[in-house]
Chain A
Amino acid sequence: MIAAADPRSAVPLLELKAASKQFVTTLDLSARIANVFGAGLREEVVQAVDCVDLAIGEGEVVGLVGESGCGKSTLGRLAVGLLPLSAGARFWRGQPLAGLTPAAARERQLKMQLIFQDPYAALNPRLSVIDLVGEAPVVHRLIGQRQQIEYVGLQLNRVGLDPTLMRRFPHQFSGGQRARIGIARALAVKPEFLVCDESVAALDVSIQAQVLNLFMDLRAALNLTYLFISHDLGVVRHISDRVVIMYLGRVVESGPAAELFATPNHPYTQALLAEVGKLEPKKRRFVPVKGEIPSPLSPPSGCHFHPRCPYAMPRCTEIAPPLEEIAPGRWSACYLNDTGA
């Protein structure tokens, strides 16, 4: 289960090796008391991310796609270090990120920033833009307190906001403007790597187009690397170089965006792409994928997709298929690719 690094750079900018994340709901006092009387309650474990390898090359845009509950946001948080790994390791330019001194860890950490989904919830309503954007660079001594106004002005200009608005508060801005403030805040500490977690999902189509264009401009201007998390395949296809598809905590397919969208290999990817709305004014017959997304609390055995898969075989229910290279740069976890069997 090793996903290929981008061939353009030998050492990936950020790499996750066999990263796993479990969430455990610990038993509260009442449950523990109930257990004394033989209720037999157990801790519930969600395997949110299950042994995922992810390597992101410098300057690359990787799109991470999946439905709700597949662990894509958790993986994004693991990548920037907002959540600790349950197992596995993180590497920054080939160097392990674990076991650093606090000062060194902080320095690396500044290079990775996260832009959140909800531009309404991600900004403190009681702080003005100058504090929202300008606080972190001052705290981290990237600039002096006296340079703050000028610096914030530059950051706002870069994301297409009028610097004269920097004394205003978040509620005085529209959704699109707030998204831009969120981007300016992340960029203010001069990061090299950005995780964008559904950063355009809450925006109207015309505003979404503006923000996507901004992401592409910034990438070119600042040589940024993105992990772009989205459930919207149209957005991902538009912005990504490489796409990773997740289903219930595991990567099921990854590959260069153009190839993956042209010839999806995994049955889940095929189903997902079939649902992508096209702007073709043709009466489409919607052909649904059967079944529900299973609960991550009790995922199906073997390949997680087998209860919904039209090609499921007996062995799909037993052991999960490994992620294997099916063509240069293209990886898929499906037994259908096993020609030898």
Chain B
Amino acid sequence: MTEALLSVDRLRTYFFTKAGVCKAVDDVSFAVDGGEVLGLVGESGSGKSMTGYSIMGLVDPPGRVVGGRILLAGRDLASLPAEEMRQLRGNRIAMIFQDPMMTLNPVLRIDTQMVETILAHEKIPRAAALDRARAALVQVGIPSPDARLKAYPHQFSGGMRQRVAVAIALLNRPDVMIADEPTTALDVTIQGQILYEMQKLTRETGAALIWITHDLSVIAGLADRICVMYAGRIVEQGSTAAVLRAPRHPYTRGLLDSVPGNAPAREKLKQISGMTPSLIELPPGCAFRSRCPYATAECEETPEMRPYGAIGQSIRCFHPLSQP
């Protein structure tokens, strides 16, 4: 764990609301190395985005990181003063959001925004910064970069805006990139283009990539390893091949069975009954037990993450599936 570029250790992010404490991220641990793609998969409310925001130090009140460590090359980001964190953010770690308009300022030209990102972290001449911005646009496959630098965000299509957001994330050659569903709002053919660029970039730059998504089929072709999240906790973790071919946690199995296109056409899908529990004042124990066909009295205790199976998965379950 200490070897990894970024390691998250027992991270807890809680929201203190009037209705009660919401454990958005509860005891999450994982590690990711340079050049590696880690997929963080879960449904809405599973805490996958909040894990990303916690790493970036972007959790706003009433939310707070209440425990755990986030080690980036040995430095604990969770206990870093705000000013030091600001120097790292957008520099050593960068984030790409689902909606590129969250990254882009609509009233500033692209070149202004890109140069500003560089000069915030480095003292180099403006011309050099502009050159680097241009190179970044070329890197993400934007045609005629000189003309595009002079354009405003509204002059770009959705796919092009997302490319600009990726280019901005790349500007300071970060060690870790966190991508929060960057292709969800895009059309399939445009999604394919972005995935192609991201795959190429991780190979070229050697940066670690954390890809947050609800779409298992996107992650299947992209990630080296997968963490499956449910109700704030990682329930299964392992290599992409292991998790998708031989899932051990009943939730992962259910999620895979729910994907249409995986099942024979026009037959009923094997659905997970019920719905995700509310995270506010979630009772102890396995959060999945009310929907789980294998649940027993034992599941009222919270299971710990433990290794299981021959191919290096770990799961948080008392009743792992022996037959994948």
Contacts and interface: CB of A to CB of B under 8 A. Distances in A.
Given A239-B266, A271-B189, A288-B192, A206 B261 contact: no
A52 B98 CA distance: 34
Contact of B43 (A67, A206, A286): A206
Given A237-B265, A287-B192, A289-B189, A277 B258 contact: no
Interface stretch (A41-49, A91-99, A151-159, A208-216): A208-216
A292 B157 contact: yes
Contact of B222 (A204, A212, A284): A284
A125 interface: no
B196 A282 contact: no
A204 B43 contact: yes
B196 A287 contact: yes
A231 B268 contact: no
A279 B220 contact: yes
B187 A293 contact: yes
A3 B241 CA distance: 43
Interface stretch (B72-80, B119-127, B249-257, B299-307): B249-257
Contacts of A274: 192
A210 B272 CA distance: 7
B221 A67 contact: no
Contacts of B255: 205-206
Contact of B269 (A204, A238, A278, A281): A238
A234 interface: yes
Given A288-B192, A288-B196, A283 B221 contact: yes
A280 interface: yes
Given A276-B261, A279-B244, A286-B192, A205 B214 contact: yes
B25 to A, nearest CB: 18
A289 B159 CA distance: 13
A143 interface: no
Contacts of B263: 238
A286 B195 contact: yes
A276 B217 contact: yes
B261 A238 contact: yes
Contact of B241 (A208, A232, A275, A281): A281
Contacts of B243: 281
A1 B294 CA distance: 55
A126 interface: no
Nearest to A290: B193
Contacts of A209: 257-260, 269-272
B85 interface: no
Interface centre among B43, B199, B221 (most CB of A within 10 A): B221
B215 A277 contact: yes
B297 interface: no
A217 B269 CA distance: 11
Contacts of B215: 205, 277
Contacts of B292: none
B220 A277 contact: yes
A288 B193 contact: yes
A216 B269 CA distance: 10
Interface string A193-226: 0000000000011111110110011000000000
B188 A67 contact: yes
Contacts of B218: 277
Nearest to B226: A281
B276 A279 contact: no
Most chain B Cβ neighbours within 10 Å, of A176, A213, A288, A289: A288
Interface string B151-162: 000000101100
Nearest to B141: A288
Given A209-B271, A238-B261, A277 B221 contact: yes
Interface string A87-130: 00000000000000000000000000000000000000000000
Interface in B158-199: 159-160, 187-193, 195-196, 199
Give the residue among B244, B261, B275 with the most A Cβ atoms within 10 A: B261
Interface string B229-264: 000000000011111110000000011111111110
B44 interface: yes
Contacts of A176: 275
Nearest to A268: B189
A206 B254 contact: yes
Given A278-B217, A288-B189, A234 B259 contact: yes
A79 interface: no
B189 A293 contact: yes
A213 B239 CA distance: 31
26 contacts: A67-B187, A68-B187, A177-B275, A205-B215, A207-B275, A209-B270, A209-B271, A209-B272, A210-B273, A238-B263, A241-B266, A257-B265, A275-B188, A275-B189, A275-B192, A276-B217, A277-B217, A277-B218, A277-B220, A278-B261, A281-B244, A284-B221, A285-B199, A286-B195, A286-B222, A288-B196
For the complex of A and B, 4 pairs with smallest distance between CB atoms:
A277-B217, A234-B261, A284-B221, A238-B260
Given A238-B260, A258-B265, 18 more contacts: A204-B43, A205-B214, A205-B255, A206-B43, A216-B268, A237-B260, A238-B265, A257-B265, A275-B189, A277-B216, A277-B218, A278-B220, A278-B261, A282-B220, A284-B222, A287-B196, A289-B189, A292-B159
Interface of B: 43-44, 157, 159-160, 187-193, 195-196, 199, 214-218, 220-222, 239-245, 254-263, 265-266, 268-273, 275-276
